[in-house]
Structure 1
């Protein structure tokens, strides 16, 4: 019987720690990019890169949706990896990692192993004292949670991921795939990164500086009622509710809702809702080639004429002129890099 052929050492070796109640989609997106880049076709052999789920014990770790994963190895020596990843999820006590994980992350940092925070993994790295002096990415959805917990620290919530020397953080969701593609591009090659994203039905790699879709940064609020209202607006952009109906859904009077918005944000609920929808319009104009008519329907405007009129009032130009201007600036920037 012929001797088995020894595989070369992977160019990219990643150890991943799933925190209790981690976000399954964020972890799966990250791993699948590595998996698809690791081998020819879709055979999933860890040849060009490898990934291992690690934890203090081999007991299953439950995700935020209830699906559990089983670690493959105990923590051990972090130097066997090129990167150590911590995958976060739900905020609060259930997400806390134990002292063994904290010590492992600190040992990895001391050994100069780069650390990655997926989703709310940035919170875990900060709690371990490993983000001082580093910029970090936090989803707009958890921005206020971060500000409440880490006084004096301002996260970056207008990018999908942030690379600051040997600390890499991302906002979660699909952004974890783009962060993984960044690693694949760096260690294996751009073609492998593009292949992974293409198989995952993602058109192209997204640069770290790409804005997060979601709430404008000036609309974060600590007022619980305003936060609930903003999230409702975010989730119903295509069919925005009148303020009176929104107040009814939230179980308060219109006057009370308007009073809370005035105190928290200095604007009316209607103005906040329009700002959210226009932020989504800008994201769609910048991200893809959809028509203004389609974007108007997706963001709750009566028709393209209505969107053009409102957009020009706010931006001073039409949506198409704004889109072309962004493309021109991006082209100029790429030529200077």
Structure 2
């Protein structure tokens, strides 16, 4: 059994423990069960979270863990010397040491993120960068892996972190099955932006949401207004008018943003040539994709891939 420990402290954010459920479900779909999950704190006992929820915990001791995950809080955690020493010592023996949200500040206080790439909730990234200039903070990532250190964004990103760990341990099929049982709409890769295009557009009606979901799943298609309108069960004229009223943008501009988001993620994953990425995301050719990247990001796709390789 692989021991997975979640470290909490007064004021921890309860949503971070949702990541523990991913390991729990992995045990249900794998045979035999793989993970032994426990919640730990410095002194043990009942620990009150950020809201009216308290959780029982076991005191930190010399138990060996395969994976230790430090949860975040609503603010920046204040780490005690004993906790920091425990984490420094554990880092020498665990296979993975991770943080969710502002738990990155605990790892940073312990000196374990110096010279590493790391992320946290986008709201707290500037503070992490200011306090710890030796860390290569990348605020627009769902999670990052740098050697044995894993860091994730805030809130629900801890579930994405846990699913990535499960995939690493048990394979993609098990991780996909866990995600389905958690009723996740889709799994997010680590390089995905913390800012979703679909969320930013925020369509209000089910019909426009359905059309955007259809577009995201079919980026290779032309996705003309007629095709999107059919997915929304509206006439093209009704669709265009309602789309702009709900999102403030034209369908063409919104589709380009979805294509850009998908293309950038594929670039960051680094597995496909740019010509393939352009085709898979509906840009058709690399020149059209290049022009879109210059408009949106000010740099061509090659520069984004080169910068990631040098990071």
Contact 2:26 2:33 in 1 (8 A): no
Q: Give the TM-score of the pair, scaled to structure 2.
A: 0.67
Structure 2: unaligned runs, 5 residues or longer: 205-211, 233-238, 274-311
Q: TM-score, normalised by structure 1?
A: 0.62
Are residue 63 (structure 1) and residue 65 (structure 2) matched? no
The count of corresponding residues between Structure 1 and Structure 2 is 247
- What residue in structure 1 maps to residue 255 of structure 2? 320
- What does residue 285 of structure 2 align with? none
Correspondence 1:52 to 2:41? no
Q: In the aligned structure 1, how far is the partner of 2:72 from the partner of 2:263?
A: 37
User: What is aligned with 2:146?
Assistant: 164
Question: Which residue is 2:111 aligned to?
Answer: 129
Measured against aligned partners, the alpha-carbon deviations of 1:195-220 in whole angstroms (never above 9, x if no partner) come to 111111113322111111269xxxxx
Q: CA deviation at 1:148?
A: 3.8
Are the structure 2 counterparts of residues 320 and 68 from structure 1 closer, same or farther at C-alpha, using a change threshold of 3 Å? Answer: same
- Contact map agreement 1:86 1:121 (CA 8 A) in 2: yes
Cα distance in 2 for partners of 1:199, 1:60 equals: 29
Equivalent residue of 2:255, what SS?
helix
**What whole-Å deviation, never above 9, does each CA across 1:104-125 have from its counterpart, x for those lacking one?**
1010123354210111110111
Does structure 1 residue 106 correspond to structure 2 residue 95? no
Q: Is the 8 A contact 1:117 1:170 kept in 2?
A: yes
- Partners in 2 of 1:173 and 1:153 — Cα distance? 21
Secondary structure at the counterpart of residue 210 of structure 1: coil
**Alpha-carbon deviation of 1:305?**
8.4
Distance 2:85 2:32 in 1: 28
1:53 aligned counterpart, secondary structure: strand
CA gap of 1:144–1:326, structure 2 versus 1, over 3 A, is closer
Asked if residue 31 in structure 1 is aligned to residue 20 in structure 2, the reply is yes
Distance across 2 between alignment mates of 1:305 and 1:55 = 47
Displacement of 1:27: 1.8
Query: In structure 2, what is the Cα distance between the partners aligned to 1:46 and 1:88?
Result: 31
Q: Distance in 2 between matches of 1:113 and 1:306?
A: 47
1:128 & 1:287 partners in 2: Cα distance? 41
CA RMSD of aligned residues (A): 3.7
Change beyond 3 A, Cα 1:108–1:303? closer
